[in-house]
Amino acid sequence: MTEKITETLLLVDDEPGIRKVLGISLADLGYRVLTAENGEAALAMFRAHCPAIVLTDIKMPGMDGIDLLKAIKGESPDTEVIMITGHGDMELAIESIKFEATDFVTKPIRDDILSIALKRARDRIAMRAKLRAYTENLERLVAEKSARLVEAERQAAVGQTVEGLARAFSNIAGDMRGGIHYFNEMPCYVSIHSSEFKIVAANQLFLERIGDRIGARSWEIYGRNSDARPSPVEETFRTGQGQRARRRICLADGSRTTLMVHTAPIRNRERGVELVLEISADMTEMNRLQTELRATQTRFEQLFDEVPCYISVQDRQFRLTAANRRFKEDFGEIEGGFCHEHYKHRDSSCPNCPVAKTFRDGRSHSHETVVRSKSGEQYNVLIWTAPLRDETGEVTQVMEMSTNITQVRQLENRLSSLGLLIGSVSHAIKGLLTGLDGGMYLLGAGFAKSNEAQIQEGWETVRMMVERIRRMVLDILYYAREKDLKWERIDVVSLVRETVAPLEKEISEAGIDFSVDMAPALRAVELDTGIIRSVLGNMLENAIDACRMDASGRKHRIGLRVRPDPRYLFFEVVDNGIGMDDKTRESLFKTVHSTKGKRGTGLGLFMSGRIIAQQGGAISVTSIPGQGSTFTLKIPRERNASLSPTRS
């Protein structure tokens, strides 16, 4: 059965054709579709209709999709925003995720991809609704139990009105049998005792539950004789003061129960105590309610501690007043600390704080951010807040619930990176195949004309393209081996010699001076030698190409230097080739980028930066246009070294 969809969706795109076609598809899925042709119109329509989901193009004239996303999230953090992007807008799409976009889809839009993105948006809406309903239900349950307990305690505290009742009863004391009926509607036991310590009247509930004890001694309902501890009635006759005591009594069915007993003297005209009014409330129901409330509180505390997310309660100064077990395990004991101290290790409150927003408007807010645990690990968390109010309705505290979505964000980043890689690899393969076609054309034409020079040129082109395809495939295979590293101990000197040997002829033919400088007494290290050899070879090949492309006419040099420190091993490749500007240098590891024109695939450094990170290392580069470049490969000397790659 098809899921029934009731959400309102706002579609924003400056192309009328896309709005029309995509609007029809979304309507067929069951959405109530609103459309807007630009960001300004979309924002006005959003404020008027408050749709749950917004589907917007990134590039639009005037207010673009990123600015629209920021505006919507600033006004309604719970609104789910899906970005529409072209292939060339991938960096903007990834940037939109940082501003809390739900997802992005690429043009041309495939129905299955769009359905997945929309389902994710609906799932997030449903999750927030369930969390909100669950919290409100817990608050209602605790309030209901507390109210019932208060009512029972009020019933037990009838002693506060006994004096007034006694004064009223003195007016009807002459009619014992008639006057006592005024108390038949009271949900407690009422009896009147004479100065001879006898029960002279009782209300209907007393007669039904305790029995007809008219004429019995005042102490007999407590199951004792006159020599035991005095009853509250006796104490009242003795002292002339009302009494309050907790006593066990015998009921008519033989069972015993606990009563809260209140007594008050009824005085004659000479102010002497003539009668005593005794009113008793059964404590059984109150005890049951107290037990039930304690059980409810225990279950609430267990839920508070065992729920699989971080929960904290903060006051108006953002001081933590409570936190669940998982919060304390990952962020430390609260001890009156502040939220920003535990989550962000900051000295002041965070900008765009959802707790502050809830204190201001009394509404729930959501927010995604990055926090740091007590061990220094960074987590992506999705935060949702709920106001806690006092009896007047004022927000006195805010509950903050945070779900760790680090793995989800890592997967999204991985998928984004994979998408960039696939697109760039496809483009690179297309260029290589074009070059291969050109070489094959030259070969065919050369054979047809028996032109040996053309045959040689074609063969050289084919050979070069095949070699580049081989390198690219090897790079991709190394990149794909992220979780299958082959560690082995190897002598560094042997590793360098094996890497340099295949390139020595190419370096010599290019007329480049080459030198190797290795620090003495280099120890064996534990590495995936295939990966290191590939990355180091790639760095040397880039240096060779940089020297070949330099038309300055100066003598070119390449140097390879190997040096250790206590934790890392450093390989430095220095050349005096063409160098590169800052923009080119910053693009080397971010996207598939080539400085070699049609002669390069652009995959070498893009792959190398990711491959080397698997071993806990990093690649850095410094360069001056027209003077040359220095590439530095840093690798941990031991396998158990820190695996947190950095790139400088």
What the block records as the tokens of 116 is 């997945």
Give the burial class of 102: count Cβ atoms within 10 A of its Cβ; 0-12 exposed, 13-18 middle, 19 or more buried.
buried
Region 141-165: mean pLDDT is: 62
> What are 481-524's pLDDT values in tens digits?
554 556 778 788 888 888 888 888 888 888 999 999 988 877 77
* Region 159-288: CATH code: 3.30.450.20
**Greatest mean pLDDT among 57-61, 379-383, 570-574:** 570-574
Q: What is the CATH number of domain 8-124?
A: 3.40.50.2300
Res 48: pLDDT: 92
Q: What is the pTM of this model?
A: 0.37
Is the pLDDT at 153 greater than 70? The verdict is: no
Residue 279's nearest CA partner among 182, 332, 206 is 206
Sequence-ordered alpha helix ranges (H) in 258-334: 284-306, 325-331
3-state secondary structure of 263: strand
For residues 266 and 600, the model is more confident at 266
Look up the CATH architecture of domain 307-404.
Answer: 2-Layer Sandwich (3.30)
Lowest-pLDDT range of 72-81, 124-133, 311-320: 124-133
Res. 72 pLDDT band, cuts 50 70 90: very high
Helix (H, G, I), strand (E, B) or coil at 479: helix
Contact predicate 203/186, CB 8 Å: yes
User: Residue 598: what pLDDT?
Assistant: 40
Q: How many beta carbons lie within 10 A of that of residue 643, not counting itself?
A: 12
pLDDT tens digit string along 174-193? Answer: 444 454 666 777 778 899 99
What's residue 575's pLDDT?
A: 95
For residue 406, give both structure tokens.
Answer: 């680090």
Write down the CATH superfamily of domain 483-648.
Histidine kinase-like ATPase, C-terminal domain (3.30.565.10)
| 633 token code pair | 């490969």
Q: Could you tell me the end-to-end alpha-carbon distance of the chain, in angstroms, rounded to an integer?
A: 54
* Eight-class DSSP state of 9: E
Instruction: Dump pLDDT digits (tens) for 403-415.
Output: 888 887 777 766 6
Element (H, E) at 396: strand 395-404
Main-chain phi, psi angles of 253, to 5 degrees:
-85, 5
